[in-house]
Chains A and B, each alone.
Chain A
Amino acid sequence: MPESPYPTSTDVLVLHALRCIGFAGLARVAEATGLPESDAESELIDLAVAGLVTCVPGDFGGWGLTEAGRAADAEWIRGELEAAGTRTAVAGAYDDFLVLNPELLDLCTAWQMRSADGAAVPNDHTDPAYDARVLDLFTDFHRRADAVCADLSAAMLRFQRYRVRFATALARARSGAVEYVTDNLDSYHIVWFQLHEDLLATLGIPRD
């Protein structure tokens, strides 16, 4: 019998979500973790009391990590990976992710820009056939990306949430909410960007 994937406690889940998505309001924290807003808020308040997160007011404000929160997250996530004993599996999946990453960025770029006789010009989304072609390729890409996320989820249960978020973004984009490709904060690209950050943070790889 294979062991079931390692579960993450709720406080770590919330702290680490903030570590990967950056400053965010309650709704986005709930969305990223899959927790009900009330549960997410309760965790955030506990984390704030512990000095690990803080809530910044203002137009671009929201919940964010303190320096202490960042350090705690690094320690907890490292400890979790050791406890699960799945570093090799996560590192292998990260290699697979790195193969997919440039293709995803190609696809996002093709969604935003088109080649007009050799010049890159903004895609004004007036050519439904072109947009449909890009979305079809996204759908094909998603199958391969989902396989990597499945490997990750088998190593560490919290990665399962990305499968849900990618599938939701793609389904919404395909049903006509095209801002879910690259443009809004739950778009396929933004979730991918966060997964990239998550893998770097999980494996302790600096971004440069």
Chain B
Amino acid sequence: MTWIHPLSAETEETPSVLGGKGYGLVVLRRLGLPVPPGFVISTGACRAFLRDGRFPDGLDAELAAAVSDLETATRRRFGGPGRPLALSVRSGGSVSMPGMMNTVLDLGLTAEATAELAAETGDVRFALDSRLRFLSSFASAVIGLAPESLEAVAGETAERGSGGEEAHLAGAIRGVEALIRERTGGPVPDDAMRQLELAVRAVFSSWNTPRATTYRALHAIPHDLGTAVTVQAMVFGNRDEHSGAGVAFSRNPDTGERIPFGDVLFGRQGEDVVSGRSTTRPLAELAEREPAVWAGLLDAMGRIEEHHRDACYVEFTFEAGRLWLLQTRPGGLVGRAAVRVAVDLADEGVISRREALLRVSPRHLRYAGTSRIEAAGTLDILTRGLGACPGVATGRVATTADRAVRMAAGGPVILVRPQTSPLDMHGLAAAAGVVTARGGPASHAAVVARAMGKPAVVGAADLTVDAASVRAAGRVFPEGTFITIDGTGGEVVVGSPRITTAPADSLLHRLLGWADEISGGGSNRDDAERLAAAHAVLVKQPGTRQGP
């Protein structure tokens, strides 16, 4: 086929054709790892679509053939009748970027297919939950409705319904359908193939959204690459109590220790993990609740590490106790974690010392002196979020801006809010640091905290802020509790743990020792200069891989 390539071990196209996501999945297939069957529509098809405003000749036929192959492979029918095939449709250029259409899940769950799914599984709740996820993701990604409006209308109509969970889901579905009709003048087409076509067009078109265009301009990414589209048979993390989804790093992304690290959500689909809308559980809980899935995941990460000779990241789903991998990429660790992984891999004999040196960027070392909570020892973790402004701050919890101002007269305060509004500005000004339950590194709270130079942790999803206390992981902490926050790693810790200002680790000293051997220089320069000098020598040598 010209435009479409199956997700199979035999597919030989490069990431520039398949996109980073599609290529990663082909690598997983080559490693013999479980990947839901599917196919990739190439970046070339996207470029042709953007140039001509329509699918290139032959794409429609290839799409129909690829779906038909998928029906055969899964022994399911797309749009029914019979056991229904539902698809996930994801974007994926060779680099990912915000502003692009992301994902439509459960595509093909027409009204009829939803009924078939309920009949097949005997689980009406599951079928309706999946249908609601389809409508919401389609409305958001393809029609462009704001997720905020969708959540509001789904919540509202679900509350009005009485009765059990099924009635609530049915109510939410009616609410979302009504909103879609109101905004577009018609319903979501109840034809599975038409849904797929629209989703693919939406992915292609999203390459040129203003936000994506701006992002490319900021990061010097060429505008003419285009995005691939990955289409796969759905695996359902919301199927039953032995289902769920998660993300995992093969090594701790904060410290680099060889301990798998990540989040898992039981009974939910992957979007819930990545969006930060739901409270995730630490990855280790998977070992207790689903030992077979855990073993499979460790084995998979081991094989991926071996292949890339580097740490790796995976997104996974498990359905009825069976593990599926949905995305992977190598490396991606920075700062002290990158140093530790590079030295460990050299010690394990996986990479040479020279390669270890090239795995660490001198520019990362320049900021390694930022204060951090010392990872060693037993930390009483209150919650975790995303580091949004580097630095460590210690103080007493205040849950409103007014109280932050009053309490600040008696010593440092950490303002803890669900999210921030301009009405919190005086509290932010008075506080030593800020924690929010919602929002990401590009949220109002994060931008304001950085403008004020205050350490900040945002998106601590399991945190609930009450009138005069905060709650996380079933524990309640009254206002005035002494806490410490790390705006790099996102930790929120009870009390005042030890703080390190320099990476005191012996691993960095060893790495820099190797650097001096290569460059012939001494240790009377700063860390970044010592590493840069070694890089300068190494990149001139033939056969040396440039990294990271």
Contacts and interface: CB of A to CB of B under 8 A. Distances in A.
Interface string A153-187: 00000000000000000000000000000110101
A134 interface: yes
Given A95-B146, A112-B450, A121-B366, A106 B425 contact: no
A106 B210 contact: no
B441 interface: yes
Contact of A119 (B364, B401, B427): B364
A60 B405 CA distance: 7
Interface in A171-208: 182-183, 185, 187, 189-190, 193-194, 196-197, 205, 207-208
- B interface, by DSSP: helix, strand, loop or mixed? helix
Nearest to B219: A115
Contact of B98 (A58, A102, A190, A207): A102
A117 B448 contact: no
A61 B450 CA distance: 22
Contacts of A58: 405
Interface string A85-117: 000000000010011101101111110110111
Interface in A65-81: none
B450 A134 contact: no
A137 B405 contact: no
B548 interface: yes
A170 to B, nearest CB: 15
Given A22-B423, A103-B214, A119-B361, A109 B442 contact: yes
A103 B451 contact: no
Interface in A104-145: 105-110, 112-113, 115-122, 133-134, 137, 140-141, 144
Contacts of B421: 22, 193, 197, 207
A205 B99 CA distance: 24
Contact of B451 (A22, A144, A189, A205): A189
Given A115-B219, A144-B210, A21 B451 contact: no
B426 A62 contact: yes
A23 interface: yes
A117 B548 contact: yes
Q: Which of the four size classes fits the interface of chain B?
A: 35 or more
Given A20-B422, A207-B419, A187 B214 contact: no
Nearest to A94: B146
Question: Interface size bucket, A side?
Answer: 35 or more
A182 B418 contact: no
B446 A109 contact: yes
Interface string A28-55: 0000000000000000000000000000
Nearest to A184: B451
A58 B217 CA distance: 44
Interface string B359-386: 0010110110000000000000000000
Given A105-B443, A109-B446, A187-B451, A117 B361 contact: yes
15 contacts: A60-B427, A60-B430, A61-B405, A62-B426, A109-B447, A118-B332, A121-B364, A122-B390, A133-B218, A137-B214, A137-B218, A182-B451, A193-B421, A194-B422, A197-B421
Interface of A: 20-23, 58-62, 95, 98-100, 102-103, 105-110, 112-113, 115-122, 133-134, 137, 140-141, 144, 182-183, 185, 187, 189-190, 193-194, 196-197, 205, 207-208
Going nearest first, the 6 A-B pairs with the smallest beta carbon separation are: A119-B334, A117-B361, A116-B363, A103-B211, A105-B442, A22-B423
